[in-house]
Amino acid sequence: MLIVIEKVLDAGEIRQMRERLGAALWVDGAQSAGSRSIAVKQNLQVDRACPVGRELGNAILGKLGRNPLFQSASLAETIWPPVFNLYRDGGHYGTHVDSALMRLPDGGPTIRSDLSATLFLSQPDDYDGGELVIETEFGGQAVKLAAGDMVLYSSSSLHQVTPVTRGERVCAITWMQSAVADVAARDMLFDLDQSIQALSAGRADDDADIDRLIHVYHNLLRRWARP
């Protein structure tokens, strides 16, 4: 799965968020890297205890909770509080895979990382390099989106951020545990849900064919969702 969700944030929200991030506490991103990833990670990130980061992260979670495409694609059960990162002056993150199990901050429970998300907060023309390259069954897919857009992809994928050679690349990243762990099942549910929404346009609210498709969707979700 590799899905682009456009306009998670609008221009005004991006501007305000970037202004607030200017007052945040930025630290070496290697502090949160694993034993192998630390050797290939060179960036800055907002300290997890920083109130600014927490406030802005909660704002993003609120937007995601009201985004129908995000909800349909992820079936998110638990979402890690967003982390803000910054790449500049050659900053990069070499090829790595996200941890399968992640303990939520402040001693929270451990979640299984099914999906990863990158929300771009810099316009692509503001920096050179900085592509998010995700390895898929069709080869490496380079992603560099407009500010306010998000890419959602499988946490099991190998991926990297190429060196930023000009300007600054600012993003928010997060991970989530889906109610449906199986990737193929989750993808089929997403395709079915998107088809239902498209076919529903212009039909009566009590259309029997649409009702049957919704019935199938929820029974499949009931079968595949974790207990």
Binding residues for 2-oxoglutarate, as ranges, are 169
Q: Helix, strand or coil for residue 17? A: helix
Q: How far apart are the first and last CA of the chain?
A: 23
- Within the chain, residue ranges assigned H as helices are 11-21, 51-65, 68-74, 183-200, 208-224
Q: At CA 183, angle to CA 181 and CA 189, rounded to 5?
A: 90
CA quadruple 153, 76, 53, 41: dihedral sign? negative
Return the H-helix or E-strand segment holding 112: strand 110-112
Q: Which amino acid is at 183?
A: V
The phi and psi torsions of 218 (rounded to 5 degrees) equal -70, -30
State the helix-helix crossing angle for 11-21 and 51-65, rounded to 10 degrees.
Answer: 160
> 123: alpha, beta or left, given left = phi > 0 and alpha = psi -120 to 50?
beta
| Residues in binding site for Fe cation | 96, 98, 159
| Residues in binding site | 96, 98, 159, 169
